[in-house]
């Protein structure tokens, strides 16, 4: 199993949690971004710089990941593609996307897109809180402990 990180929009505190988990559990983790990214030196961490453009990083992740890999992303359409390919997706607030709940999250996302395109501007997501960070760390740890025992 590998961890793939949709790194362009991944908050720094979440990246730091991922760095520690990857090193502690010795899991190959790839950060994918169309912007330069500095990551700690480690045998378990790597960075893939992709070309700029809409969904280029997403396409690279889906193409390169394999069944059973974990993808860290707040991008719900990317999460849906990952699940379709038999992978797992976790957002930076600790929500694990599954076959059972991804349809719900896609419909909410599409509804919000429709509202924005009709001129209603939302405030966007709240800043990442300490509770969100803890939820992410707990969910990642639980997932990895469960799936590494297989």
pLDDT per position as a tens digit, 19-56 = 999 999 999 999 999 999 999 999 999 999 999 888 89
Strand order in the sheet with 96-97: 45-49, 29-33, 3-6, 70-72, 88-90, 96-97
- Specify the pTM: 0.88
Contacts of 124 (CB under 8 A, 6+ apart): none
Tokens at 129, concatenated: 């809180």
What are 90-140's pLDDT values in tens digits?
999 999 999 988 877 776 766 666 656 666 666 667 789 999 999 999 999
């Amino acid at each position: 199993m590998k961890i793939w990180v949709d790194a362009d929009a991944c908050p720094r505190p979440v990246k730091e949690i991922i760095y520690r988990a990857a090193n502690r559990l010795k899991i190959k983790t790839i950060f994918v971004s169309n912007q330069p990214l500095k990551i700690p030196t480690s045998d378990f961490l790597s960075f893939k710089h992709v070309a700029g453009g809409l969904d280029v990083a997403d396409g690279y992740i889906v193409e390169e990941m394999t069944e059973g890999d974990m993808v860290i992303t707040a991008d719900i359409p990317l999460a849906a593609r990952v699940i379709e390919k038999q992978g797992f997706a976790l957002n930076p607030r600790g929500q694990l996307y599954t076959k059972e709940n991804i349809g719900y999250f896609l419909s909410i996302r599409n509804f919000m897109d429709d509202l924005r395109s009709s001129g209603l501007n939302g405030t966007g997501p709240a800043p990442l809180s300490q509770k969100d960070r803890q939820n992410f760390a707990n969910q990642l740890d639980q997932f990895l402990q469960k799936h590494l025992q297989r």
